[in-house]
Amino acid sequence: MRPEIVMRYLGFILLINALFLLISTAISWGQGDGSFAPLLFSAAVSFLFGVFPLIFVPPALEITNKEGLFIVVLGWLISCLVGVMPYVLWGGPFTFTNAWFESVSGFTTTGSSILSDIEGIPPGLLFWRASTHWLGGIGIIVFVLAVMPSMGPAAMVLYRSEISSLATDNFRYRTQKTLMIILYVYVGLTVLETLALLTQGLSLFDAVAHSFATIATGGFSTKNTSIAHFASPGVESILMVFMLVSGIHFGLLYLFATGSFRKIFESAMVRYYLGAVVLGVFAVCISVYTANYDSLTDALRYSAFQVLSVGTSTGFANADSSVWPPLSQLVLLFFTLQCACAGSTSGGIKVDRIVLFGKTLEKQIFKLRHPKGVFAIKIKGATVDEEIVEAAMVYILLYLGILLASTMIITAFHVDLLSAFSGAAAAMGNVGPGFGSVGSMANYAHLPSAVKWILTADMLLGRLEIFALILFVTIRRWK
Amino acid sequence: MKLRFKILSGFLILSIMLFAAGILSIYELTKIGHSVQALLDENYKSINAAKTMIEALEREDSGVLLLLSGEWNRGRSTIEDADKDFQNAFQVAKNNITIAGEAEHVETIARFYDRYKTLWNQPVAGTAKQGDLNWYFKQVHPAFLEAKTEVNRLMTLNDQTMYNTASALKNRASRAIMPGIIAIVSALIFTAIFNFFINLYFISPIKKLADGIRSYIKTGDRSGIRADSRDEIGELAAAIQELSTYRRELGQSR
């Protein structure tokens, strides 16, 4: 492995971080808030560290799998460290642990926060907080690849590590084109949502910040009470549409946008995703109607928003779901584990694996009935490779195992079981809010520092889809 | 890119980083200095003035009781001295309005004090009011308490602001330290990276070149005398290649 090549690409990542820090600095300067100096200093440090490897290391057209994995994992970790800088420099509620939590939560598009007074944070810093979502959502690596055409064949190696491997099985395209598709769809959706939110009377700042958080399926809001602050069915409807869309494979979205409307509905994953959301909204709506809301319209409004928010791993809130009946909480917990489609910015186990899990169960039942029969798992008529099915099953087991282990460790710090389990599940799935003391209207500030570190590890594990991190840690054993 | 530029860039980046950290720390420390000054100017003065006003009001209350007991001279002089002190302190508070809500308190104090003053400004000793404790408890004492409570409120407001400013100062102090910590950590990491690059792009090619020259001397094989870079090391390799060619040509001509 060539560490200098890894450093060169990490340099690009740092430069992109520096650019967004500089934009945040400009906002801070325009608003005259107190975060100008911390943001400028962080931008300078990030820029200097980014530019240095570019001076020394000549461009490389080919990169190996190992190098690709190193760039992805280290890129994420370094971005999270850069994200910490403006927070700790600004001070306030940001101890190092809190700043790390907020930064990892931002870059992994989780959206959990330690802030109790978000509106008291300077606009420049809030913009940086929203930017961490946006940068994390697309995956800084993918962004770098799309902007840096010099990489050539190297791109696909990184892409595999960055986005759920199932996404590449689901949708075929050429590397460079793929990356440009992702970029077009991502930027296009962000612009569209910003314009739509502006029509609802949101300020440009709030509209951009919420668009960043929606398209990245992040969930950081600029308001203390999240989306409930606006109390606007119009704003909620726009967010619901964009959350739903952001949970679909970006390649399919591109096809939809370029006129191939049927493709999106032909996808078994999308059909399951939409069906699950409709069923989920129905179940939660029935559960909260009369128990929490007297009117069916209100029950539908709040349940649809919360199911979509959790089901796409966004994590916005327009109601306090921690006071909802157990059935609705269980449905939301299911969506916290499942989340949306592979190839989107959503986290969690992902719809694709759940579909494969369902098909495997179906296959096993058939096998019980016909022990001598030969059955294959098929999606849209095509047989799915056994290796892919096996990997999906192992992933689900590993995911649940890590979740269980995290919950056990967190409860050892005297956190109640509901908060511990839902908090860990929300962190692993990059959802954001859980239930109990970490509900949709609460925050994670009160948790012990050790718990915050466990949750950030869960966030990174979830975002890098476990296997990437395992491969990274065991890289010496690679052959 | 030339070696000189690369090495210079490394030192330049390190210097910029330390310079930026220094500037930010100085900026934050200057802000702390301003905050301390503001703390003294804005709140401490007002708190002192409020204390003087409360003390003056209590002395006036004692003066009124002296008047009620018929001690005209002692009562009057106590009241007049206290009134002077009150007016002076009140002017300090009035000219030092720096906190939101402070102006309203000062205005209310002026109104309540005027009401209180009207009561004892009129003759008491030698009139029907002398010895009239009922008049004192029904009118004078409530007016005194009203004015005193309002002054207390002004003092609490300044106390609270002073506490908040002091807490913010603690935050500012950590802000002033943080750039230094980040700069130290960054400089250490940067030095490690710089060292890695120097080894990779300077030391290793020079070693390879030296090995290549030794191999050439032993075997006459010139393939080891080369450098992939276009910097000074590349130039050196090219010059050695030229030298070896010249030497070979010289040998052949002999």
Question: A52 touching B, CB under 8 A?
Answer: yes
Alpha helices in A32-174 (DSSP H): 36-56, 65-90, 96-107, 123-138, 140-147, 154-162, 165-170
Give, rounded to a whole angstrom, the gap between the first and last alpha carbons of chain B.
Answer: 40
Could you report the per-residue pLDDT of B62-82, keeping only the tens digit for each? 998 888 888 888 888 999 999
CB atoms B9 and A52 under 8 Å: yes
In chain A, the percentage of residues whose pLDDT exceeds 90 is 57
Identify whether residues A294 and A265 lie together within a single domain. yes
The runs of H, that is alpha helices, within chain B are 3-38, 45-68, 72-94, 102-121, 133-135, 141-198, 204-219, 232-253
- Confidence check: pLDDT of A446 > 90: yes
Contact criterion met (CB below 8 Å) for A129 and A102:
yes
Rounded mean pLDDT, A302-325:
93
Say whether both A299 and A353 belong to one domain: yes
Instruction: Please enumerate in sequence order all residues whose Cβ is within 8 A of that of B5, keeping only pairs 6 or more positions apart, or say none.
Output: A55
One DSSP character per residue, A364-402 reads HHHHHH-TT-----EETTEEPPHHHHHHHHHHHHHHHHH
pLDDT tops 80 at residue B122: no
Asked if B17 lies within 8 A of A48 by C-beta distance, the reply is: yes
Give how far Cα B251 sits from Cα of A456, B39, B254, Å. Answer: 70, 87, 5
Q: Average pLDDT for residues A89-106, to the nearest whole number?
A: 92
C-alpha dist (Å) from residue A22 to A142, A209, A266? 21, 16, 43
Of A32-46, A143-157, A299-313, A404-418, which range is least confident?
Answer: A143-157
Residue B25 or residue A174, greater confidence: B25
Q: Can you give the residue range of the structural domain that contains A218?
A: 171-479
Residue A127 shares a structural domain with residue A248: no
Query: Residue A161: its pLDDT value, please?
Result: 47
**Alpha carbon separation from A325 to A300, A322, B216 (Å, rounded):** 15, 8, 84
Which residues of A fall within a CB distance of 8 Å from B1? 55
pLDDT bucket at A153, cuts 50 / 70 / 90: very low
- pLDDT at position A154 over 50: no
Categorize the per-residue pLDDT at B87 as very low, low, confident or very high, splitting at 50, 70 and 90. Answer: very high
Residue A396 vs residues A248, A342, A432: alpha-carbon distances, Å: 20, 14, 20
In 3D space, the residue among A386, A389, A398, A396 whose CA is nearest the CA of residue A338 turns out to be A396
A320 and A220 belong to one structural domain: yes
Contact A91 B172 (CB under 8 A): yes
**Is any Cβ of chain B less than 8 angstroms from the Cβ of A22?**
no
Closest residue in B to A55 (Cα–Cα): B6
Q: Which of A170-184, A224-238, B68-82 has the highest mean pLDDT?
A: A224-238
Question: How far is the alpha carbon of B43 from chain A, nearest alpha carbon, in Å?
Answer: 22
A52, B16: Cβ pair inside 8 Å?
no
pLDDT of residue B223 exceeding 80, the answer is no
Confidence of residue A169 (pLDDT cuts 50, 70, 90): very low
**Residue B192's CB: how many other CB atoms inside 10 A?**
10
For B182, the closest of A53, A85, A91 (CB atoms) is A85
d(CA A461, CA A465): 6
Residues A25 and A58 in one domain: yes
Do A319 and A370 lie in a common domain?
A: yes
Last residue of a domain, one of A162, A197, A217: A162
Single out the residue of A134, A123, A115 nearest to residue A20, CA to CA. A134
Instruction: Tell me the pLDDT of chain B averaged across its residues.
Output: 85
Structural domains counted in chain A: 2
Q: If DSSP codes are grouped into helix, strand and coil, which group holds residue A442?
A: coil
Q: Is A386 exposed, middle or buried (0-12, 13-18, 19+ CB in 10 A)?
A: exposed
Of A162, A187, A209, which one is at a domain's C-terminal end? Answer: A162
Same domain, A136 and A207: no
Chain A nearest-CA distance from B241, in A, is 24
**Same domain for A129 and A192?**
no
- The CA distance from A329 to A434, in Å, is 9
Question: Which residues of A are less than 8 Å from B194 in CB distance?
Answer: 52
- Over residues B187-200, the pLDDT tens digits come to 899 889 999 988 88
**Residues whose CB is less than 8 angstroms from the CB of residue A387 and which lie 6 or more positions away in sequence, other chains included:** none
Q: What is the pLDDT of residue A151?
A: 44
Clarify whether residues A246 and A346 are in a common domain: yes
Same domain, A199 and A116: no
**Amino acid making up residue B97:** I
List, for residues A373-427, the tens digit of each pLDDT value.
888 888 777 787 787 788 888 889 999 999 999 999 999 999 999 999 999 999 9
> Distances in Å between the alpha carbon of A92 and those of A99, A115, A120, A143, B204?
10, 10, 10, 32, 48
Report whether pLDDT(B118) > 90: no
The verdict on a CB contact (< 8 Å) between B175 and A85 is no
Residue A478: pLDDT band (50, 70, 90) is low
Average pLDDT over residues A121-138: 93
Measure the CA–CA gap between A254 and A263, rounded to whole angstroms. Answer: 10
Of A376 and A444, more confident: A444
End position of a domain, from candidates A127, A162, A197: A162
The percent of residues in chain B predicted with pLDDT above 70, rounded, is 98
What pLDDT is stored for residue A477 in this prediction? 60
- Residue A133 shares a structural domain with residue A204: no
The chain B residue lying nearest A4, using CA atoms, is: B197
Domain architecture of chain B: domains with CATH: 3-187 (1.20.120), 189-253 (no CATH)
Q: Are residues A118 and A182 in the same domain?
A: no
Measured between CA atoms, how close is B38 to chain A, in angstroms? 17
Q: Which residue has the tokens 């992939």?
A: B228
Across A137-158, b (16+ Cβ under 10 Å) vs e yields bbbbbbbbbbeeeebbebbbbb
